Amino acid sequence: MSKKFSRYGILFVISAPSGAGKTTLVAALRQTSDLVYSVSCTTRAPRAGEIDGEDYQFLSDADFRGRVKAGDFLEHAQVHGDYYGTLGQPVITNLKNGMDVLIDIDTQGAAAIRHCDDPFIRQALTDVFIMPPDLEELRRRLMKRATETAQQIDSRLATAAREMELWRDYRYTIISRSVEEDLQKFRHIMSAEAYLSRRLIQN
Ligand code: 5GP
Q: What residue type is assigned to position 161 of the chain?
A: A
Which residue's alpha carbon is at the smallest distance from atom 23 of ligand 1? 105
pTM: predicted TM-score of the whole model, two decimal places: 0.91
Question: Can you give the pLDDT at residue 2?
Answer: 57
Ligand 1 center from residue 195 Cα (angstroms): 29
For residue 86, the ligand 1 atom closest to its alpha carbon is: 19
Find the distance separating the first CA and the last CA of the chain, reported in whole Å.
13
Closest CA to 19 of 60, 80, 64, 73: 80
Taken in order of first residue, the domains within the chain and their CATH numbers are 5-38+99-202 (3.40.50.300)
pLDDT at 98 over 90: yes
Q: How remote is the CA of residue 6 from the centroid of ligand 1, in Å?
A: 32
161-175 pLDDT, tens digit each: 999 999 999 999 999
pLDDT in the model for residue 74: 98
> What distance in Å separates the CA atoms of residue 37 and residue 14, rounded to the nearest whole number?
11
pLDDT in tens, 113-146: 999 999 999 999 999 999 987 888 888 888 887 7
Give the mean pLDDT of 71-82.
Answer: 95
Report the separation in Å between the CA atom of 3 and the middle of ligand 1, taken as the mean of its atom positions.
42
Give the residues surrounding ligand 1 with Cβ less than 6 Å away. 18, 40, 44, 75, 77, 79, 84-86, 104-106, 108-109
Which tens digits make up the pLDDT trace of 41-51? 999 999 999 99
Nearest protein Cα to ligand 1, atom 7: 106
